Structure 1
């Protein structure tokens, strides 16, 4: 089935890096990629801007989108891939929601930071908003300047306190099937052993993934969860991190405080977020 992938862009190097990763990840898949740019400005920035200047900015954005499309077509000579452009005057989140609905988007791919992203920031403000608000389809966050590597090892952190639905795990299974990846389910133990509910949820999860190459890993609670997950990523040479973004989830804790030295976590591999 043909995939429809949305690529929000601010024309930064980070956004292009995320685009390149997406093109390589879905190299063998039939896809239409949609470059989306929003020209919406904050109200405080618009007070002294004339309509003529706004029109000029829109024309520039459209020219940049057209150039981006042509560059993608030139550098990615892949018969499986086609490209479209979307210029929106709406707020970036509204623009993304509208595009998802109109073009039946299966995945949104973004970089971690925008054009003005500082090195110490975990996610740029737009990326954080998109993680919080996007519920219609999964989101893939690609680290800055990340060189593509086949996601042969996928980590799926969970505490087994929640039962996952078939819809949520469908996205995970589709990702595994792209490259016949190995799934590493990792649980950071808060107590010596699992509760009855955790045991049940683990059994149910296993039934959903029984046809794949998977393994369960249990880690003692020796540091911040963020640090432990990074340790796990490095130890097992993980290529992609997958999480479900539900209320009070681990992701929610990360995006509430997006400064690395307070969180102790940075996206060292692509981060695939499944909506609740």
Structure 2
């Protein structure tokens, strides 16, 4: 049984992420938790009557029930069960609480919220989840991305840090869905690997020995974002997976001004694995 949390603000972007995730896990037995969190600012709460707050909660619940019914009708997958979760707190706390309470294996969401600001790679909620969720991966699906069976998964690494079994467990589970090939990408900035890098490379080979995988050494010739994007196109990558850790590439691209500056316009789903 796989437990998946799908936060939704009922936007088209959120709907697209839900549809993609259901197709990705079509062959898995899953409980799907549909979560809506609507937080009111403290300054506004005092001006709301209890009756109005109740009305807002009831409206959100009705929207969740409609979404659940729509998915049950259109998905028609006997492997999937749907549950609704409603919170009037902030989204961060609601997601972390649900992960603990329902033993969530994956959080999947759109890259942007209802505003869908152009030129921004990840919306503020998605960025927060990359940073805050520590117990399971977060899968971000680009706006209007249509499902294709993932046969190639890219896993960039500089081999400078040790990838432990827990982190790679998430990567291997993703690959197992469709027997995908894991493409380990190393952007080669040095003439030779250090002893630590060699050791981490050997460990990574060992962890991946039962999965189809390959290693790709890419000479550095541009910004890291361009090099990764070029690899995605050249290797026909379907999902990009990376580990989030301090001072990592992911950390740098979650700052919006940096995103605009480096132009990291990702066109495929992006799985962020917690350290």
TM-score (norm 1): 0.96
Deviation by residue 1:6-44 (Cα, 9 ceiling, x = unmatched): 000000000010000110000010001000001212335
**TM-superposition CA deviations, 1:100-149 (whole Å, max 9, x none):** 11111110000001111212111111111111101011111011110001
The yes-or-no answer on 1:23 pairing with 2:1 is no
**Which moves more between the two structures, 156-165 or 37-46?**
37-46
Contact residue 5 and residue 106 of structure 2 kept, 8 A = yes
Counterpart of 1:7 in structure 2 is 6
Q: How many residues matched?
A: 275
1:223 CA drift (Å): 1.1
Provide the rounded CA distance (Å) in 1 between the counterparts of 2:46 and 2:89. Answer: 17
**1:71 — aligned with what?**
70
Residue in structure 1 matched with residue 178 of structure 2 by the alignment: 179
Deviation at 1:199, TM superposition (A): 1.1
Counterpart in 2 of 1:38? 37
Distance 1:112 1:51 in 2: 34
Q: CA deviation at 1:266?
A: 2.0
Q: For 1:26 and 1:149, how far apart are their aligned partners in 2?
A: 12
Q: Give unpaired runs (5+ residues) of structure 1.
A: none
Give the Cα separation in 1 of the matches to 2:188 and 2:102: 42
Alignment correspondent of 2:246: 247
Q: Does the 8 Å contact 1:122/1:258 carry over to 2?
A: no
For residues 61 and 262 of structure 1, the distance between their equivalents in structure 2, rounded to whole angstroms, comes to 38
How far apart are the structure 2 equivalents of 1:24 and 1:221? 36
Distance 1:259-1:191 versus aligned 2 partners, 3 A rule: closer
2:177 is paired with a residue of what secondary structure?
Answer: helix
The TM-score, its normalising length taken from structure 2, stands at: 0.96
Name 2:213's counterpart in structure 1.
214
* Larger displacement relative to structure 2 (151-160 or 211-220): 211-220
Kept in 2: contact 1:39–1:89 (CA 8 A): yes
| CA displacement, residues 227-250 of structure 1 (integer Å, 9 cap, x when unaligned) | 111110001100000011111111
Distance 1:50 1:191 in 2: 64
Q: CA deviation at 1:47?
A: 5.6
* CA deviations over 1:190-245 (Å, ceiling 9, x no partner): 22221111111111100100122111111111111111111100011000000111
User: Match for residue 112 of structure 1?
Assistant: 111
Please identify, of 98-107 and 36-45, the stretch whose mean Cα deviation from structure 2 is larger: 36-45
How far apart are the structure 2 equivalents of 1:62 and 1:194? 55
Asked whether the 8 Å contact 1:93–1:130 carries over to 2, the reply is yes
Equivalent pair of 2:141/2:270 in contact (CA under 8 Å): yes
| Higher mean C-alpha displacement, 216-225 vs 234-243 | 216-225
Change (3 A) 1:182 1:23: same
Shift of 1:48: 4.1
Q: Which residue of 2 aligns with 1:130?
A: 129
Deviation, structure 1 residue 45 = 4.8
5 Å-filtered alignment, 1:168-207, equals: 168-207=167-206
Provide the aligned C-alpha RMSD in A. 1.3
Separation (CA, whole Å) in 2 of partners of 1:168 and 1:231: 25
Q: How far, CA to CA, are the matches of 2:203 and 2:44 in structure 1?
A: 51
More off after superposition, 172-181 vs 152-161: 172-181
Answer yes or no: is the 8 Å Cα contact 2:150–2:238 preserved in 1.
Answer: yes
Q: Is the 8 A contact 1:123 1:258 kept in 2?
A: no
